[in-house]
Amino acid sequence: MFNANMVALQTIVRKEWRRFTRIWLQTLLPPAVTMALYFLIFGALIGARIGEIAGFSYMAFVIPGLIMMSVINNSYSNVASSFFSAKYNKSIEELLVSSTPNWVIVLGWVLGGALRGLCVAVIVSMVALFFAQLPWHQPLLMVLVVILAAVLFALAGLINAIFASSFDDVSVVPTFVLTPLTYLGGVFYSIDMLPGFWRDLSLFNPVLYLVNAFRYAILGVSDVNIVHALLGMLLAIVVLAGFALYMMAHSKRLRH
């Protein structure tokens, strides 16, 4: 039974891997181009006039946040669009009618999305190397944070896709929730630069913790407590995974 489930898991992940690598022009190249432009404009051109933040050049300061932004967007949108498309063209029924248990379906889709997030992280990191020297403070922590972030947002994308009843529903969350949270999550600035109220308000933004944990792993500086950030990510993953499993079993949007 375990072996059968592992084969099913491998099949789902391989299918997703083949899908997003086949359409690499839509999935892997755009983040590299977008981030290169960010590095060039915000880092090299504008950043040169801003000076140092927390002892690092502005370019070095924004790189971890921009990598994390790519991971969040790509993990999320991979699962949201792929799962919703499967729901839309009913090919999700191939899985739902099979002997694959719900936990394997959730895990498979989340790993597929996380895999794209990790691929994008590697690509964007390589692009970043052309623009700045980074100290890579704690490489293992960096890998851990990027994996947790990719899994967390792949889960969120899956839940979005289960709820969604149109392609508009899939694009609403990235546009109106993820992007504002990311831009206001300390990617481009330290929250220490904000006035008291806005600084305190920022502490309710979950993306702030991801960005700062990742920045700490690369640069060794952070606006938040790293242990709290890691625990928060783990807790969020557990909660979202439980919810995704519940939805997979009971949602009328999948099984009437």
Partner 1 sequence: MSYALELENLNKSYKAGSRALDDVSLKVEAGDFFALLGPNGAGKSTLISILSSLVQKDSGCVKIFGHDIDSDFAAAKRCLGIVPQEFNFNTFEKVRDIVINQAGFYGIRAARAAERADYLIEQLGLWPKRNEVSRYLSGGMKRRLMIARALVHKPKLLVLDEPTAGVDIELRRSLWQFVEQINAEGTSIILTTHYLEEAEALCRNVAIIDAGRIVKQSDMRSLLAGLQRESFVLDLSREPELASLPSYCDAKILEGVRLELSLAKGQALNELVLELDRQGCKVLSMRNKSNRLEELFVNLVGAGVEHV
- Single-letter amino acid, residue 130: F
Task: Please tell me the total number of residues recorded for the chain in this structure.
Answer: 256
Least Å distance between CB 153 and partner 1? 24
* Binding to partner 1, residues 137-176 (CB under 8 A): none
Residue 8 as a binder of partner 1 (CB under 8 A): the answer is yes
Nearer to partner 1, 228 or 255 (CB): 255
Least Å distance between CB 225 and partner 1? 43
Residue 11 as a binder of partner 1 (CB under 8 A): the answer is yes
Nearer to partner 1, 10 or 166 (CB): 10
Residue 25 as a binder of partner 1 (CB under 8 A): the answer is no
Residue 190 region, left (φ>0) first, then alpha (ψ -120 to 50), else beta?
beta
Nearer to partner 1, 91 or 175 (CB): 91
Residue 40 as a binder of partner 1 (CB under 8 A): the answer is no
C-alpha separations of 201 from 145, 197, 198, 205, 236 in Å:
23, 6, 5, 8, 19
Question: Is residue 177 within 8 Å of 137, Cβ to Cβ?
Answer: no
* Binding to partner 1, residues 93-112 (CB under 8 A): 93-101
Q: Which listed range, 28-36, 37-45, 90-98, 234-242, lies at the site for partner 1 (CB under 8 A)? A: 90-98
- One-character DSSP codes across 122-148: HHHHHHHHTT-------HHHHHHHHHH
Q: Which listed range, 32-40, 83-91, 129-137, 240-248, lies at the site for partner 1 (CB under 8 A)? A: 83-91
Q: Which of 16, 125, 109 is CA-nearest to residue 64?
A: 125
Nearer to partner 1, 105 or 184 (CB): 105
For the record, the structure tokens of 46 come out as 């504008």
Tell me 186's DSSP state.
T
Residue 224 as a binder of partner 1 (CB under 8 A): the answer is no
Nearer to partner 1, 49 or 90 (CB): 90
CA distance 214 to 63: 10
Q: Which of 219, 208, 222 is CA-nearest to residue 57?
A: 219
* Binding to partner 1, residues 236-255 (CB under 8 A): 250, 255
Size of the site for partner 1 (CB under 8 A): 28
Residue 1 as a binder of partner 1 (CB under 8 A): the answer is yes
Give the up-direction half-sphere exposure of residue 171: CA atoms within 13 A in the CB hemisphere.
3
Residue 5 as a binder of partner 1 (CB under 8 A): the answer is yes
In sequence order, what are the residues at sequence separation of 6 or more whose Cβ sits closer than 8 angstroms to the Cβ of residue 41?
A: none
Catalog residues that contact partner 1 under the rule CB under 8 A: 1, 3-5, 7-8, 10-12, 14-15, 85-86, 89-91, 93-101, 250, 255-256
